[in-house]
Amino acid sequence: MSPRLDFALQSGLELSQPLSVLGPMPDNDLSNLPRETQVVQPFKPSHDHFAAQGFDTTPEADAPCQDAIVILPRAKALARSMVHQACQRASGQIVIDGAKTNGVDSLLKDIRKRVDVEGPIAKAHGKIFWFQSKPEAFADWAAPMAQMVDGFRTAPGVFSADGIDPASALLLKSLPKKLGARIADLGAGWGYLSAEVLKLHNPRALHLVEADHIALTCARANLADSNAQFHWADAVTWKAPDPLDTVIMNPPFHTSRAADPELGQGFIKSAARNLTRNGSLWMVANRNLPYEVTLADSFAQVQEVSGDNRFKVFHASRPRV
């Protein structure tokens, strides 16, 4: 269990069922909580992690609950939205558990202006505190039903929520005139690249593979096309229904504040597995990320075709697997 939550329970905090935990990641140990506890986690690998432990796991909060625990994310707008969401569902206590690096001190200050807070307890480079659910106090923290940016629907906390990612825009400009009939966008986000590919190339099938359920919901709203197929899945392990002609991707490179090149390397290997023998990968990455060796190991031909001082675009073909 979280060291802060464990200490709070030992110090007098009492939790009642039905209980929901919003936003836990695999490094949040929930093993001491009852398995009927509902875990709300829209990120597929983390969702599957807690489902494998026997929790009632869902990508979206729905049913009412008595108490709720909110594990703070990094994005401030998403954190506020989760507090509002918890208050809307819970009739009892709202527990906030967060690291200092995720802004828990700032959130505590804001919440104290609205409700009476118990705790807080400082431990393990963070804080935990709780208060009685009061939905009306956080009505203005609700996420907008339709946050429109550059003509696309996005949502707080998803990648590039405030506008088109410049790396994705660079990749789009670098794509050839022909991409083939079967295409996948690995890590499709809210669908910018896929939407433009559908307009420009009209493929027979375009698979949007995205681990963030919230982002994928936005993508569904942004792509009203029968040739688009949506997969809530981890791109690293996803298997295409048929071999692909082309994979496009702007892969994520971190799950926390530290860069994790292995994530993008996993995307490259997945692309190679899912392509035809003559298939192609088109990808963009931050210039400092070390993907060249994995690309050379996974494809017979690799070329940097475009880039600038921030990003590099690769075309890789003829997968080795």
Q: Which two tokens stand for residue 9?
A: 């329970």
Which residue ranges in the chain fall short of pLDDT 50? Answer: 256-257
Q: What is the pLDDT of residues 205-262, one digit of tens each?
A: 999 999 999 999 999 999 988 999 999 999 999 999 999 999 999 998 755 445 577 8
Architecture of domain 3-141: 3-Layer(aba) Sandwich (3.40)
67 and 95 Cβ atoms separated by less than 8 Å: yes
| CATH 3.40.50.150 residue window(s) in the chain | 3-141, 147-319
**Topology of domain 147-319, CATH:** Rossmann fold (3.40.50)
pLDDT at 61 (0 to 100): 80
Q: What is the pLDDT of residues 187-197, one digit of tens each?
A: 999 999 999 99
pLDDT at 220 (0 to 100): 96
Whole-model pTM: value is 0.91
Tell me which H or E stretch contains 276: strand 275-286
Q: 302 - beta bridge partners? A: 316
Give CA separation, 48 vs 26, 45, 52, 55, 227, in Å. Answer: 10, 5, 6, 10, 28
Please count the other Cβ atoms lying within 10 Å of the Cβ belonging to residue 173.
Answer: 8
What does DSSP assign to residue 136? G
Distance CA 195, CA 150 (A): 13
Closest to 119 measured CA to CA, from 2, 12, 30, 6: 12
What does DSSP assign to residue 55? -
Parallel, antiparallel, or unpaired for β 182-186 and 244-249?
Answer: parallel
pLDDT at 255 (0 to 100): 55
